A and B are shown apart, each in its own frame.
Chain A
Amino acid sequence: MRISDLFKMGLRNLSRRKARTGLTVLGVIIGTISIVIMVSIGIGMNNSFDKQFMENGAMTVIRIERYGSIIDDDGNWLGSKEQVLDDNLVELVRQVEHVNAVAPVLDTSAKLTSGKYETYISLRAIGHEAFAEFGYPGLLSGAYPTAENNKSVVIPGYVLENYFYNPSSRNYETKAIDPAKDKITFKFDEWRYTQNERKKAFALDLTEIAVMEESENWEFNSYVYFDMDYFKEIYTKYANTLKLEDRKKAMAELQNYSFIMINVDNIKNVTRVQEDIEALGYVTYSEMQYLEPLKQTSDMLQMVLGAIGALAMMVSAINIANTMVMSIYERTREIGIMKVLGCLVKDVKKLFLFEAAMIGLLGGIVGIVLSYVASFAINKYGGPLFQTLMQSSGVYDVGDAKFSVIPFWLPFLAAGFAMLIGVLAGYFPARRATKISAIEAMKTDS
């Protein structure tokens, strides 16, 4: 038989028992909806999960902090140890396998003044290469420091918008500063070291300012960034204005980094790199190590959801098989006639497999369409229920998150799966149909 004839005959057979075909398709529709919705909820959960952690930092970054926390296997804090983070260590870490980039970081605090407005900021100095290597956000204006021009200072737009306030006004009114118009002056904290009275206090007018766009990762939004070399240059100038005994102390700070950032080539290798560095005797920290147990919980929940969906699908598979068996009983004589008229055994088989697959596909397609409707409804009205569900798996900040996300591949997968279920469920009935003898056609009754 030609494929087109097979299709035509199969469709005709399905349509001649409309009620039964309809009910069987309904079963598949329900199965498909439950699978798609369950998977979509799992994906939605995972997304808000990832999002939450993205806000705290990139997933492939490991840090070695100056004060490393000592934590036991159960996550209890036992104490901390001070680690010396110098250029030797930076070189050592660079050698570790799967490490893409290493950047030492110096954190300090400083003050920015613009007219009568001022703000205390956290200052972060890192090598200019690190801005690209660690995926710093885009800039609204200006440019990141480069090897040729390292004098650019990067200020997050968020800081400019919200942080400057007037200390002499009654309720500390704030003002958005526009670096293009407003002059910004930079000073180091006055209270840390004693000023040498015979020298003029250090102050720097910031001329090259880059404005960083707001990021989902809060860490980016909270610092003002300097290139490491430029920072050392101005810091040395600053130290020279200090009293002699403080000058040494201040300069010593340059020798010990606040922390070292390490970028790993792949999220899968983070744990391994962490272990390698810990073998060197340093305590490390990564988002991954917190994420992993939580992720396991979430995966588990997803599997449970998937299993519920699969169960519904299994019931519909049994349903299809039953329908096909019934259909074969009814059509015993017809199959016999077909055989006598020269229909090949394999065509009989194909015909029944096609019918079963069509039931699956039809149910799959309708199920997918309805799944989109259901997904929309869940996102719109299912808030309270799913908020509870997600919090139990460690996701707290659900805010505007979507509870049910249907990625583009899911409908195709679901339709394919429904069809596969149909074929599998139809396989044994179809084989049974091939065993029907042509002699059925010769019986004279009915």
Chain B
Amino acid sequence: MGDTPQKVIEVKNVRKIYRMGNEKIYAVDDVSFDIYEGEFCCLLGTSGSGKSTLLNLMAGIEKLTSGQILIKGRPIHKLNETKLARFRQKYLGFVFQSYNLIGTMTALENVELPLVFKRVPKKKRRAMAKEMLEKVGLKNRLKHKPKEMSGGQQQRVGIARAFVAKPSIVFADEPTGNLDTKTTMEVMELIREIAHDNNQTIVMVTHDRSLAQYADRVIHILDGKVQSIDVVNHNMEDDEPEITETKKEETNVEEENDGTVGSVDDDNSAN
């Protein structure tokens, strides 16, 4: 989409090898790709394909075995813990499958948390958190604890928390894994919208092909390798949704009945 898109994440020949006894497991095997600024990128793969590991590597949560990962030109795999923490404060946001809200804190406090770590003054961060919660439609849920909210609402809090510090990159790990279809759609739209407004980059990991339609680009991962990279054509959105041939039957029938827009263009090759 962008005119001259800038690379924010560069993954170069990354390997992650786990040792199980004498056996070596190549969770990520010689993977290289770039992610561009403002792009919604989806890592699609079945469970065990290594997509989550790849996300962890990009976020600096796990250490890679070999290769390089540059985020905004900084080698994230070389940063020490303190630098990494400061880097996360500044540039990274996270949305998790199981929301990962702190149970003892209210929605507002949860959203404030990244700003607390960032030493943002109390008044300012409170205002920022409120604004963010408003944006995700939880204006009247500020004082609610996570347990008092539905899954969808909790994930909205999670999204608000991920975006509140205005990070340039937000990682989302199966963000809709615990949600029903309707809520899934709402949540995905929300993520897309907020990211789009602020030109933020989204890296989402999922096994659900139907979610790929929200992405600008889909990177298919299989057995720790990049299988293909597809560009999704959003121009078709306005037209009557065109159901592209889906290779497998795992796609939800429900989804098609919903008339979900967008499609995954499998035939397109990577640029």
Contact = CB atoms under 8 A, between A and B. Distances in A.
B108 interface: no
A441 B85 contact: no
A257 B54 CA distance: 101
B161 A341 contact: yes
Interface in A318-356: 333-334, 337-347
B62 A439 contact: yes
Contact of A342 (B56, B62, B118): B118
B81 A345 contact: yes
B61 A437 contact: yes
A76 interface: no
Q: What's the interface size class on B, roughly? A: 20 to 34
A344 B82 contact: yes
Contacts of A30: none
A442 interface: yes
A442 B52 CA distance: 9
Contacts of A9: 116
A341 B117 contact: yes
A338 B82 contact: no
Interface string B99-112: 01010110000000
Contacts of B173: 442
A2 B98 contact: no
Contact of A340 (B59, B98, B174, B177): B59
Interface string A365-389: 0000000000000000000000000
Given A340-B88, A340-B94, A444-B177, A1 B100 contact: no
Contacts of B81: 345
Contact of B61 (A12, A13, A338, A439): A439
Interface in B65-104: 81-82, 85-86, 88-89, 92, 94, 96-98, 100, 102, 104
A245 interface: no
A249 B97 CA distance: 114
Given A438-B61, A444-B177, A341 B94 contact: yes
A337 B59 CA distance: 13
Nearest to B165: A342
B117 A344 contact: yes
B85 A342 contact: yes
Contacts of A148: none
Nearest to B161: A341
Interface string B148-176: 00000000000001000100000001100
Interface in A1-59: 1-2, 4-5, 9, 12-13, 16
Contacts of B62: 439
Nearest to A4: B122
Contact of A444 (B89, B92, B97, B104): B97
B204 to A, nearest CB: 14
A347 B174 CA distance: 29
Given A437-B61, A442-B96, A334 B174 contact: no
B224 interface: no
B104 A342 contact: no
B19 interface: no
B52 A341 contact: no
Contacts of A344: 82, 85-86, 117
A95 interface: no
Contacts of B59: 340
Contact of A446 (B52, B98, B118): B98
B263 to A, nearest CB: 29
Nearest to B89: A342
A2 B113 CA distance: 12
B102 A343 contact: no
A180 B100 CA distance: 92
A9 to B, nearest CB: 8
B119 A442 contact: no
B82 A347 contact: no
Given A16-B104, A446-B98, A346 B119 contact: no
B244 to A, nearest CB: 30
Contacts of B61: 340, 437-439, 441-442
B114 interface: yes
Contacts of A345: 81-82, 85
- Considering residues B86, B96, B105, which has the most beta carbons from chain A within 10 angstroms of its beta carbon? B96
Nearest to B114: A341
Contacts of B96: 441-442
Contact of A338 (B92, B98, B117, B122): B117
Contact of A337 (B52, B86, B100, B174): B100
A342 B177 contact: no
Interface in A399-446: 437-439, 441-442, 444-446
A375 B52 CA distance: 63
30 contacts: A1-B117, A1-B119, A5-B116, A13-B104, A16-B104, A333-B100, A337-B100, A337-B102, A339-B85, A340-B94, A341-B88, A341-B94, A341-B113, A341-B114, A341-B117, A341-B161, A342-B118, A343-B85, A343-B117, A344-B86, A345-B81, A345-B85, A346-B82, A438-B61, A439-B56, A442-B52, A442-B61, A442-B96, A445-B98, A446-B98
Interface of A: 1-2, 4-5, 9, 12-13, 16, 333-334, 337-347, 437-439, 441-442, 444-446
